[in-house]
């Protein structure tokens, strides 16, 4: 099924065989220098030819994205690394074998074919092979690597459904391939292999524990370690990201005290006539009364919580609340990535439960 929304052509792509004609049309748009939003296992990406600086500039304009924020290049075959990376560090083969296709981005020395618009002028390039049949089919049909950040307006919660993409970009892009909800729901892990010890720039669907089990020592980036005025070494570091419209606060502390603190803040704000939205776990849902409550899932199922995060933030936006309070989770496994996104969404604002 094909439809148009504000000039953007939307193609139903949940069935890969039925979507073949739409994918071929999308590939032609990419080759002509246009923009196509497409599903991956992490979030929806906004794609353009990675070999065209002018096409990549269109991504930045459509998103309202700062030009010093580098993009990730998506490939469908391991051999395509040769066109993108000037060198292949020894650990690449091990990581590719274990985690590709999948939510792991590798930062490598930039090859000469990659235009500076993709890398924000850095001498490195970020590359991954997505684990989604529509994404892989599009890249193969285009016959070239596709540069693609998340398909949202810059700073907004990342899109995990086609409707999220249309909320932000309808009329700004030529085509959207609707592949249904993204199963992981958080952006990919970004691992820099240009250091003596691999450096985790952004946690994501491949966990720190998985990387340590495979590689041994892995360092975590201090997000404030790069100098002011420099391009950040990875997407998601320098600018406000994943943010709902209402101010958001994380409430940290012992779980029973967190519940008590959230209740207190809700009462105080209701007395002032302010609407409060909550982002909570299934275990504590029954203890809260608020104007809007989004349940991420069970604490023992952090993958489920991660997959629901961005959709929940957009739902809270739609509810028109004046304030959002969020529970925190343990920073192990994908919980590290989940807390990374929560901190970004809250712009670091934290309330300590007393």
Q: How confident is the model at residue 238 (pLDDT cuts 50, 70, 90)?
A: low
Count of C-beta atoms within a 10 Å radius of residue 239: 15
pTM of the model: 0.95
Q: How confident is the model at residue 1 (pLDDT cuts 50, 70, 90)?
A: confident
Q: How confident is the model at residue 263 (pLDDT cuts 50, 70, 90)?
A: very high
Q: How far apart are CA 102 and CA 334, in angstroms?
A: 14
Q: How far apart are CA 250 and CA 137, in angstroms?
A: 39
Q: How far apart are CA 125 and CA 40, in angstroms?
A: 19
Give the model confidence (pLDDT) of 178-192 as tens digits.
Answer: 999 999 999 999 999
CA torsion 105→111→117→118, rounded to 10°?
Answer: -20
Q: Which fold has domain 248-352?
A: Rossmann fold (3.40.50)
Q: Are 94 and 1 in contact (CB under 8 A)?
A: no
Q: Which of 324, 339, 340 is nearest to 248 (CA)?
A: 324
Question: Where exactly are the structural domains of the chain?
Answer: 2-220, 248-352
* Average pLDDT along the chain: 94
Question: Would the pLDDT of 239 be above 80?
Answer: no
Give the model confidence (pLDDT) of 209-226 as tens digits.
Answer: 999 999 999 999 986 665
Q: How far apart are CA 168 and CA 100, in angstroms?
A: 30
CATH architecture of the domain formed by 2-220 = Alpha-Beta Complex (3.90)
Question: Would the pLDDT of 264 be above 90?
Answer: yes
Q: How far apart are CA 211 and CA 47, in angstroms?
A: 27
Give the model confidence (pLDDT) of 118-164 as tens digits.
Answer: 999 999 999 999 999 999 999 999 999 999 999 999 989 999 999 99
Q: Are 119 and 110 in contact (CB under 8 A)?
A: yes
Q: Which of 187, 192, 186, 188 is nearest to 221 (CA)?
A: 192
């Amino acid at each position: 099924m094909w439809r148009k929304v504000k000039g953007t052509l939307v193609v139903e792509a949940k069935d890969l065989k039925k979507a073949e004609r739409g994918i071929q049309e999308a590939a032609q748009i990419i080759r002509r220098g246009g923009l196509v939003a497409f599903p991956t296992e992490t979030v929806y990406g906004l794609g353009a030819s990675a070999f065209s600086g002018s096409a990549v500039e269109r991504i930045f304009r459509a998103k309202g994205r700062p030009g010093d924020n580098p993009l990730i290049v998506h490939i469908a075959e391991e051999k395509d690394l040769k066109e993108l990376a000037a060198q292949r560090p020894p650990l690449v083969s091990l990581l590719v074998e274990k985690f590709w296709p999948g939510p792991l981005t590798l930062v490598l020395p930039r090859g000469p074919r990659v235009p500076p618009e993709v890398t924000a002028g850095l001498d490195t390039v970020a590359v991954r092979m997505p684990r989604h049949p529509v994404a892989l089919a599009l890249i193969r049909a285009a016959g070239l690597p596709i540069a693609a950040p998340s398909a949202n307006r810059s700073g907004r919660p990342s899109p995990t459904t086609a409707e999220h993409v249309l909320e932000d970009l309808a009329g700004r892009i030529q085509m959207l391939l609707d592949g249904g909800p993204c199963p992981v729901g958080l952006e990919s892990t970004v691992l820099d292999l240009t250091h003596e010890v691999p450096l985790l720039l952004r946690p994501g669907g491949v966990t720190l524990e998985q990387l340590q089990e495979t590689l041994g020592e892995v360092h975590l980036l201090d997000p404030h370690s790069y100098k002011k005025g420099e391009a950040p070494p990875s997407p998601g570091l320098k600018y406000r990201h994943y943010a709902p419209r209402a101010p958001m606060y994380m409430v940290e502390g012992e779980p029973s005290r967190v519940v008590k603190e959230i209740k207190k803040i809700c009462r105080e704000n209701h007395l002032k006539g302010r609407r409060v939205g909550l982002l909570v776990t299934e275990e504590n849902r029954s203890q809260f009364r608020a104007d809007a409550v989004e349940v991420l899932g069970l604490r023992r199922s952090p993958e489920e919580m991660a997959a629901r995060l961005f959709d929940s933030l957009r739902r809270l936006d739609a509810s028109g609340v004046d304030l959002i309070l969020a529970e925190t989770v343990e920073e192990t496994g994908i919980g590290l990535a989940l807390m990374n996104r929560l901190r970004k969404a809250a712009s670091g604002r934290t309330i300590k439960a007393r």
